[in-house]
Amino acid sequence: MARKEKSRREKEFGLTAYILKPMLVTAKQTLKSTINRPNTVQYPWEKLVLPDVFRGRPGLIFEKCIGCGICMRICPNRCIELVEVDDLKHEEGKPPKKVKRPRVNVGRCMMCGFCAEYCPTDAMIVTPEYELAAYTREEMIYDPYKLQFPGVPGNEVHIEEILPSELNKGVAPRRHVEHVDLPVVDDKKCISCSRCAKDCPVGAVKMVEVGVNEKGRPIKRPVFDKEKCVSCETCVEVCPKDALTMQEVQ
């Protein structure tokens, strides 16, 4: 309760108030600290216990990652790049396949947690590691193998939201709402190069023949699968003629 009622200048400035009251307060604290332990955590011999949601450095679960690049696009400091590395699992006798996985510059990372939040497959997680000192700057760039971390389900960050049109209608929040945005193709600009279909990380783009042009070559247009698309915008970036744009669903 705010003490607005009493006039402040006469706030019980009686005899004990001269210097005795502060000395009593400090004496009580001295006794409490001597009989029990003081409030110090003697780092580095003792460390605090961190909750699962603690945002330390980003971590990667290699098997779940699809190489879509959403983490690369959303990072505010541009610390993440996708690099081609050998896949971890490969069949006997054959060379391992090359896949795209993120490489994080942990020295620049500000531990905002966006990569973990926007990852469609929960492959990027937040980890409780914060002791990241190294001797050179090159050591601070974690390649996908070093970035791995054995995470618990509490380390994942989920977005649970609703569409603006569903507000006040009692619709429960759910996951993956942001994946309702699909790309649309501008017919005049598309040249049927099929690069969007080749680069899509989840295989949601199929090229469909819609006709034949003057020279007898088939004209193909991409068709997007609503169930598989994760709105990563890889196709939008890769298209050489900028024929694709994301269509918002409100």
Partner 1 sequence: MISMYLDIWQLLGGLIHWLLVDIIGAFVGWLGFHGLEAWLGSPGVLNFVTILIVALIVFVVGMLVSITLIWQERKTLGRLMDRRGTQVGPIGLFQNFADALKVLVKEHIVPEAADSLVYNLAPVVIIGTSLMMFVTLPYSPGFYVSNPQLGLLLTLALFGIVPFAVLLGGWASNNKYTLIGGMRAAAQIIAYEVPLLLSVVGVVILTGSLNFFEIVQWQQDNVWLIAPMIIGAFTFVISMVAELERVPFDLPEAEAELVEGWGTEYGGMRFGLIMMSEYARGFVGSSIITLVFLGGWDMPDFLNVIPVGLWFLLKVFMVFGIIIWVRGALPRVRTDQILNLGWKRLLPLAAINIAIAIVFKTAGVF
Partner 2 sequence: MAEMWINMGPQHPMTHGLWNLRVKVDGETITDAEPVIGYLHRGWEKMVENRKYPQIIPMADRLCYGSSFTWSHVYCMAVENLMGLEVPERAKWIRAMSDELQRIGNHLMWLAAIGPDLGNLTIFLYAIREREMFLDLFQSLCGARMTYNYCRIGGVRNAAPPNWERDVLRTLDYFEKRIDEYEDLVDRNKVFRMRMEGLAPMSGKDAINLGITGPVLRASGVKYDVRHNDPYEIYDEVDWHMCTADEGDTYARYRVRMDEMRMSVQIVRDILKKMPKDGPIRVKPPRNAPVGTGFARMEDPRGESLIYVVGKGDDEPYRLKVRSPLYVILSATPLLLRGHKVADVPSILGMIDVCMGETDR
Helix, strand or coil, per DSSP, at residue 138: helix
Which residues in the 2-31 window bind partner 2 by CB under 8 A?
2-4, 8, 11-13, 16-19, 21-22, 24-26, 29
Assigned token pair, 144: 């996908």
Contact between 19 and partner 1 by CB under 8 A: the answer reads yes
192's CB contacts (< 8 A; 6+ apart) are 207, 217, 218, 219, 220, 221
Contact between 40 and partner 1 by CB under 8 A: the answer reads yes
DSSP per residue over 140-159, as a string?
A: GEE-TTTTB----GGG----
Pick the closest to residue 231 from 191, 187, 201, 189 (CA basis): 201
Bridge partners of 148? 60
To which H or E segment does residue 27 belong? helix 20-35
**Cα–Cα distance list, 159 to 25, 169, 247 (Å):** 47, 19, 20
Assigned token pair, 189: 């600009």
In angstroms, what is the minimal distance from the CB of 44 to partner 1?
Answer: 14
Contact between 25 and partner 1 by CB under 8 A: the answer reads yes
Beta carbons of 142 and 62 less than 8 angstroms apart = no
Q: How far apart are CA 71 and CA 81, in angstroms?
A: 9
Mask of contacts with partner 2, 74-103, x by CB under 8 A? xxx---------------------------
Contact between 159 and partner 2 by CB under 8 A: the answer reads yes
In angstroms, what is the minimal distance from the CB of 147 to partner 1?
Answer: 37
Which does residue 111 bind out of partner 2, partner 1, none, counting CB within 5 to 8 angstroms by kind? partner 2
Which does residue 157 bind out of partner 1, partner 2, none, counting CB within 5 to 8 angstroms by kind? partner 2
Contact between 23 and partner 1 by CB under 8 A: the answer reads yes
Distance of CA 139 to the CA centre of its chain: 22
Establish how many alpha carbons lie within 13 A of residue 225's alpha carbon, considering only the half-sphere containing its beta carbon.
Answer: 14
Assigned token pair, 174: 């759910």
Contact between 37 and partner 2 by CB under 8 A: the answer reads no
Contact between 114 and partner 2 by CB under 8 A: the answer reads yes
Which residues in the 184-243 window bind partner 2 by CB under 8 A?
none
Which does residue 3 bind out of partner 1, partner 2, none, counting CB within 5 to 8 angstroms by kind? partner 2
Using CB under 8 A as the criterion, which residues of the chain lie in contact with partner 1 when the complex forms? 19, 22-23, 25-27, 29-30, 32-34, 38-40, 42
Using CB under 8 A as the criterion, which residues of the chain lie in contact with partner 2 when the complex forms? 1-4, 8, 11-13, 16-19, 21-22, 24-26, 29, 39, 50-51, 53-55, 74-76, 110-114, 117, 126, 157-164, 167, 171-173, 177-178, 181, 246, 248, 250
